[in-house]
């Protein structure tokens, strides 16, 4: 009886260990992506009219904004994350558990870029834009420079139908 119980317990432990390896969330680790976040196409528009499209994930709830791009190991060059706030804010960002060097553009409600701050991976220093803003856009660090854009002279064309910020 004891041998049968020990064999059954060992089989259960082995099955649990295999399951945890195949499904990281079962082991209590964070998922590397944020499934279920809506996406949108936006464009960064230079003063001369050149438009640079991006596909962004939309972080509209407090939980989504707090998680942001944490735990991600990469971000495609034509992608980013757009943070929506229910009203103008002065909230700081940080790079806790974020492995990708990012540039954060802080936007007015009409899409004007008001401030830009670079963040270093895993740095917990508050990234304060020094302005009140409505939206924040995270892209790979150097995204603006690689396109010859001066961020403070560009604007972001936002889609007309954004989800409500909560």
Q: What is the pLDDT of residues 17-38, one digit of tens each?
A: 332 222 222 223 333 345 689 9
Q: How does DSSP classify residue 164?
A: P
Query: Comparing C-alpha atoms, which of 159, 165, 160 is closest to residue 43?
Result: 159
Which parts of 11-140 are beta strand (E)?
39-45, 51-59, 79-89, 102-107, 113-119, 133-140
Q: Is the pLDDT of residue 70 over 60?
A: yes
How do the domains of the chain map onto residue ranges? 1-30, 31-157
Reported CATH class of domain 31-157: mainly beta
Under DSSP, is residue 118 helix (H, G, I), strand (E, B) or coil?
A: strand
pTM of the model as a whole: 0.78
User: For residue 15, what pLDDT is reported?
Assistant: 35
Q: What is the mean pLDDT of residues 61-73?
A: 95
Q: Is the pLDDT of residue 63 over 60?
A: yes
Q: What is the mean pLDDT of residues 45-68?
A: 96
User: For residue 25, what pLDDT is reported?
Assistant: 25
Q: Label residue 160 by pLDDT band (50, 70, 90).
A: confident
User: For residue 158, what pLDDT is reported?
Assistant: 94
Render pLDDT for 96-152 as a digit per residue (tens, 0 to 9).
999 999 999 999 999 999 999 999 999 999 999 999 999 999 999 999 999 999 989
Q: Is the pLDDT of residue 8 over 90?
A: no
Average pLDDT of the chain? 83
Q: Could you tell me where the DSSP H helices lie in the chain?
A: 2-22, 62-67, 143-146
User: For residue 36, what pLDDT is reported?
Assistant: 82
Helix and strand numbers (H, E) in the chain are 3, 7
Chain centre distance of CA 24: 20
The CB-side HSE value for 78 (13 A sphere, CA atoms) comes to 9
Q: How does DSSP classify residue 165?
A: P
Under DSSP, is residue 25 helix (H, G, I), strand (E, B) or coil?
A: helix
User: For residue 19, what pLDDT is reported?
Assistant: 29
Instruction: Tell me how far apart the 2 most distant CA atoms of the chain are, in Å.
Output: 81
Residue pair 82/55 in contact (Cβ under 8 Å)? The answer is no
Instruction: For residue 106, count other CB atoms closer than 10 A to its CB.
Output: 27
């Amino acid at each position: 009886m004891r041998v049968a119980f020990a064999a059954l317990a060992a089989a259960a432990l082995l099955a649990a260990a295999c399951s945890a390896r195949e499904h990281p969330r079962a082991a209590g680790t964070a998922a590397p992506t944020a499934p279920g976040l809506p996406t949108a196409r936006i464009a960064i528009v230079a003063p001369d009219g050149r438009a640079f499209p991006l596909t962004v994930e939309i972080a509209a709830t407090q939980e989504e904004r707090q998680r942001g791009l944490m735990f991600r190991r990469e971000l495609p060059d034509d992608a980013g994350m757009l943070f929506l706030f229910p009203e103008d804010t002065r909230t700081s960002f940080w790079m806790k558990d974020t492995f990708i060097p990012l540039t954060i553009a802080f936007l007015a409600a009409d899409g004007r870029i008001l401030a830009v701050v670079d963040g270093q991976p895993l740095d917990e220093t508050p990234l304060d834009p020094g302005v009140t803003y409505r939206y924040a856009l995270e892209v790979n660090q150097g995204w603006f420079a690689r396109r010859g854009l001066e961020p403070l002279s560009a604007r972001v064309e936002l889609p007309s139908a954004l989800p409500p910020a909560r």
